Amino acid sequence: MAEIIPLKAWRYAEALTPKMEELTAPLFDVVSERQRLLLYENPLNSIHLSVPMGENPAQNALATLNKWKSEGIIQQDKQPGIYVYYQYFRLPGEHDERCRKGFIAQIKAYEWSDEVILRHENTIVSSVNDRIELLQTSQMQASPTHGLYVDTEELLEKYMDEAIAEPLYELEDYQGVREVMGLIQDPDIISRFLEVLKDKQVILADGHHRLEGAIEYRKSMHGQLPDTRWKGHDYHLMYLTNTFGNHLKILPTHRLFYGLELSREVLLEKIREWFEVKKFADPEELGGYAFHKPHTFGLVMGEESYMLELKVGKFDQINLHLPESIRQLDLAILHELLFARILGIAIPDQRNSDQLVYERNFSRCLQEVRSGKASFAVITRELEMKQVLEVCRSGHLMPQKSTYFYPKALGGLLFASIKQDEFEFDYEAFFK
């Protein structure tokens, strides 16, 4: 089902390897504005390709890319490879180090209807359009999306372990995650990776906008290069991890709301129609609250905080048109009741609403509310992996920003060109 191929990656010149911590960049939406500005200050940081600035960002990215190529700042590997990528991390309060194992390759940009790559979240139209323009102009992919596959036999792990023992890079990222990358260029081993994945479906964990941009760009190029078997515009850069025997962690993404027109008293009165509302002693403790019960949330308004729990019997009155895998989700209930029914923002409009902001950092939620910028924050609990799998297989979608897979794949470790003369290779040789 899933056709993957190796890639001839563009990477920072070997002389810059000791500076990789300064050249890599996290995904744009997971760091603060202050952190992003610091990244932009470095003229060689990969953020200038992944999220370029200026009045014409895509053209700026292309100019930067051409400059880096001509000056030898980035160079292309001559042979295609599978880039093994391990992330070593600890969660707060843990002493034992976890390791998420995976590899980076190119995967065909299948349409969603092909049901080879399964998505679980809605996307925001403006963000997809930006991705299409950047890909079309630069012909370069600066950061991989993240896909999951299921291999209970762990057929590829031994090859990955061998490659990671002699790493190309080993660095610590902005969150203290130890990032290690190795390389496999042995054609026989690469063929094994392609063989294992060919019967798999891939569940998209992260990067819905970038992949949707790649799909739309591929469709726009239909009929181009008719005599060429391997077309760069057909493929997409992806970090692939096995859901079996791996450290996959999903963190919650909270909701901030701006511009509330109701008074606090009226809002709470409307919320009480659907939820049991209990005052919570200390807002700062909500960040560590376990949320064992389903359909429960934290609410922070001003200096006050509350626990919300869906009232008994109310579940049967909402989202009756949705499959059970979606209906049971806390976020489906939250978006339908609080944001649609109580605040009047229809579900389709929530995707582009400037009143609704998604924030992973609990401390930042408190800061936004206490400063008076945000009207309130809703603190959510994390999803379970089995819930994500059930939704993907149902063919339905969760509300946007439902999952936060941790840690995020780092940008700038490698770049993947879809420019045909840089992409071209006899990939057929890897298919045994």
Give yes or no for residue 81 having a pLDDT over 80.
Answer: yes
Query: Looking at residue 325, what is its pLDDT?
Result: 81
Identity of residue 123: T
User: For residues 282 and 268, what is the distance between their CA atoms, to the nearest angstrom?
Assistant: 18
Asked if residue 101 has pLDDT above 90, the reply is yes
Greatest alpha-carbon pair distance for the chain in Å reads: 68
The domains found in the chain, sorted by start residue, are 4-250+406-430 (3.90.1530.10), 253-381 (3.30.1760)
Higher-scoring residue by pLDDT: 400, 236: 236
- One DSSP character per residue, 264-332 reads HHHHHHHHTTTEEEEEES-GGGGGG----STTEEEEEETTEEEEEEEPTTTGGGS-TTS-HHHHT-HHH
Predicted confidence at residue 262, as pLDDT, reads 92
- Compute CA 260 distance to the chain's CA centroid, rounded to the nearest angstrom: 29
Q: What is the pLDDT of residue 122?
A: 64
The secondary element (H helix, E strand) that includes residue 389 is helix 385-394
Q: Where are the alpha helices (DSSP H) in 42-180?
A: 47-50, 57-70, 125-138, 157-164
The CA distances from residue 211 to 32, 131, 252, 320, 385, in Å, are 24, 9, 22, 30, 21
What gap in Å lies between CA 232 and CA 222, rounded to an integer?
12
Find all residues with CB under 8 Å of 250, minimum gap 6, and list them: 382, 383, 384, 385, 388, 403, 404, 405, 406
The SS3 of residue 376 is strand
Query: Where is pLDDT greater, at 393 or 293?
Result: 293
pLDDT digits (tens, 9 = 90+) for 362-394: 999 999 999 999 999 999 988 777 777 777 777
Cβ 301 vs Cβ 307: under 8 Å:
no
Within 10 Å of residue 283's Cβ, how many Cβ atoms? 23
197: tokens are 């994945």
Q: In whole angstroms, what is the distance from residue 58 CA to residue 52 CA?
A: 7
- Residue 126 scores a pLDDT above 60: no
28 CB contacts (<8 Å, ≥6 apart)? 36, 47, 50, 51
Give residue 30's pLDDT. Answer: 66
More confident residue, 387 or 125: 387
Tokens of 246: 């791996």
- Give ∠ CA 83-87-90 in degrees, rounded to 5: 175
Handedness of CA 404, 407, 411, 417 (dihedral sign): negative
| pLDDT tens-place string over residues 349-358 | 988 899 999 9
Return the H-helix or E-strand segment holding 76: strand 74-76
Determine the average pLDDT of the residues in 253-270. Answer: 94
Per-residue pLDDT of 29-80, as tens digits, reads 666 778 888 999 999 999 999 999 989 999 999 999 999 999 999 999 999 9
pLDDT at 424: 94
Please report the sign of the dihedral spanned by the C-alpha atoms of residue 385, residue 386, residue 391, residue 393.
positive
